[in-house]
Amino acid sequence: MIRIEVGLGERSYPVVVGAGALRPLPELVPRRVGRTAVVTQAGIGVAADTGRPQRTFEIGDGEAAKTLATVEMLCRAWSSWGLTRGDAVIAVGGGVVTDVAGFAAAVYHRGVPVVHVPTTMLGMVDAAIGGKTGVNLPEGKNLVGVFWQPAAVVCDTDTLATLPERERRSGMGEMAKYHFLAEEDLMSLPLDERIAACVRLKADVVARDECEEVGRPRGRAVLNYGHTLAHALETVTRTPGQPDVSHGEAVAVGLVYAAELARRLDRIDDARVEEHYKVVRDYGLPDRLPPLQGVRPVDLVELMARDKKAVEGLTFVLDGSGGPEVVAGVDAAVAEKTLATVAGEGRRAR
Ligand SMILES: NC(=O)c1ccc[n+]([C@@H]2O[C@H](COP(=O)([O-])OP(=O)(O)OC[C@H]3O[C@@H](n4cnc5c(N)ncnc54)[C@H](O)[C@@H]3O)[C@@H](O)[C@H]2O)c1
Ligand SMILES: [Zn+2]
C-alpha cells in the first residue's frame, strides 16, 4: 500500500493507494468517530466496512444529482438517523458523490469529518483530493461549495474493476494532464504507483495553495492544465446535435491545444509538443476537435475568454521552461489560429 500525506498543518491527512486499500478503512476513520453515514450511488456496489455502526444513504446519478436538494435530503436523512458531530460521513463513489457528500458533511452541524473513498479514476487522482466540495446551480457548475478537507482518502484500485469503459477513459484524460506537471515519466509506472504519483502532484499543489488564491501563477490553477478549451468544448457539445464528448476526452484535446499554443508563443519546443500528442494517444484519447455543427473557432475563443478561471482576458495554463503556469492576456487571434491545428483530419505539418 502506498501512503501519501497531504500536508496542510492541522488539516493534514493521509491518502492510501493500492489494491485492497479499503481493508484498513476502520483504522483510517478518526478514532473518536462513533457511527458512520455511508453516501454512495445505486450502481457503484462497493462495500465499505467502517468497523462501526453504519448506514447507507444513496444519492442520484450524474450532474443532475449535484444539487442543494440532494444536500438537504442527505442532511435530513442523517438528522432522522440521529447523526451527530461525534460521527462521520464516508463518501463512496466518483466525483459526484465526493463533491456532494463532502459539501453536506461540511455544513451538517457546521461540519462533521468526511472520509473519501473514490471509486473512479478521476475521483482518485483529482476530485477526492484537495478539499473542494460543492454542488451545481441551474446557472452553472460547482457554483456553491466550500473547502472541506477530508480526514482520509482511500483509493482502492480493486474498485476500478467495475468501472464502465467510458468512465475509465475519461479518467485517463485527467491523468494525462499530470504527465506534464510531473518531472518523471509516469507512463512507465504500474497503475497504483501512477495514481499515487498523480495524488502526490495534486497534494503538493494543494499544500502550496489550499484555497486557490487569485493571481498565483503556479498555484492550484495549474491543475486546470488543458481545461480552458475542454470547458468550452463541453459547453458547446452539451447542446443537441453535437458529438458526445466526455470530460477526459475534452481535456485530452485541451492538452494538445495548450501545447500548440505554447509552441506558437515560443514557450516550448517541438519535442515537448510531440510529448503531448504521445501521452494523449498512448491513453487512446482524441488529439483533435470533434466535428462541431455550426461552431466557429471564434465562438470557442469567446467561450474560453468567459472561462470562470480567467483573470484578465484570455487566460490559459501554458507549459514553459518551468512547467505549466497561468498566463493571462493571450492574444485572441493567436488562440483562434491555433484552433485550426487541432481541428479536422491529421496534424499540421511542421
Ligand atoms: N472537487 C474537486 O476537486 C473535483 C475535481 C474534478 C472533478 N470534480 C467533479 O467530479 C465529478 C465527476 O466525477 P466522475 O468522473 O468520477 O463521475 P461520476 O461521479 O459521475 O461517476 C461516473 C459514473 O460511474 C459510476 N461509478 C463510480 N464508481 C464506479 C465503480 N467503481 N463501478 C461502477 N460504476 C461506478 C457512478 O455511479 C457514475 O454513474 C464532476 O461533478 C466534477 O465537477 C471535482
Ligand atoms: Zn478535469
pLDDT tens by residue, 299-309: 999 999 998 76
**What is the pTM for the complete model shown?**
0.96
User: Counting runs of H as helices and runs of E as strands, what totals does the chain give?
Assistant: 11, 11
From ligand 2's centre to the CA of 179, what distance in Å? 14
At CA 204, angle to CA 105 and CA 187, rounded to 5? 105
Give pLDDT, residue 130: 98
Give pLDDT, residue 99: 98
Q: What is the spatial distance between Cα 15 and Cα 281, in angstroms, rounded to a whole number?
A: 29
pLDDT digits (tens, 9 = 90+) for 261-317: 999 999 999 999 999 999 999 999 999 999 999 999 999 999 999 987 666 789 999
Q: What is the spatial distance between Cα 99 and Cα 145, in angstroms, rounded to a whole number?
A: 9
Q: How large is the average pLDDT for residues 201-207? A: 97
Q: What is the spatial distance between Cα 220 and Cα 202, in angstroms, rounded to a whole number?
A: 8
CB 39, CB 74: distance < 8 Å: yes
Q: What is the mean pLDDT of the chain?
A: 96
pLDDT digits (tens, 9 = 90+) for 125-179: 999 999 999 999 999 999 999 999 999 999 999 999 999 999 999 999 999 999 9
Give pLDDT, residue 215: 87
| Residue 290 grid cell | 470533434
Give pLDDT, residue 349: 43
Enumerate long-range contacts of 138-143, CB under 8 Å, 24 or more apart: 140/308, 141/63, 141/66, 142/66, 142/99
Catalytic center residues = 110, 132, 174, 202, 213, 220, 224, 227, 231, 247
Give pLDDT, residue 274: 98
Pocket test for ligand 1, best of 67, 99, 147, 160 (most atoms within 8 A of CB): 99
Give pLDDT, residue 345: 58
Give pLDDT, residue 350: 42
Q: Which residues pair with 316 in a beta bridge?
A: 327
Indicate which ligand has the atom closest to the C-alpha of 223.
2
| Residue 32 grid cell | 473518536
User: Residue 247 pLDDT > 80, yes or no?
Assistant: yes
* Residue 173 CB less than 6 A away from ligand 1: no
pLDDT digits (tens, 9 = 90+) for 109-120: 999 999 999 999
User: Residue 195 pLDDT > 50, yes or no?
Assistant: yes
Give pLDDT, residue 219: 93
pLDDT digits (tens, 9 = 90+) for 76-96: 999 999 999 999 999 999 999
From ligand 2's centre to the CA of 223, what distance in Å? 8
Q: Using 50, 70 and 90 to split pLDDT, how confident is the model at 346?
A: low
C-alpha pair distances (Å), 174 with each of 123, 265, 282: 10, 24, 14
Q: What is the spatial distance between Cα 34 and Cα 250, in angstroms, rounded to a whole number?
A: 42
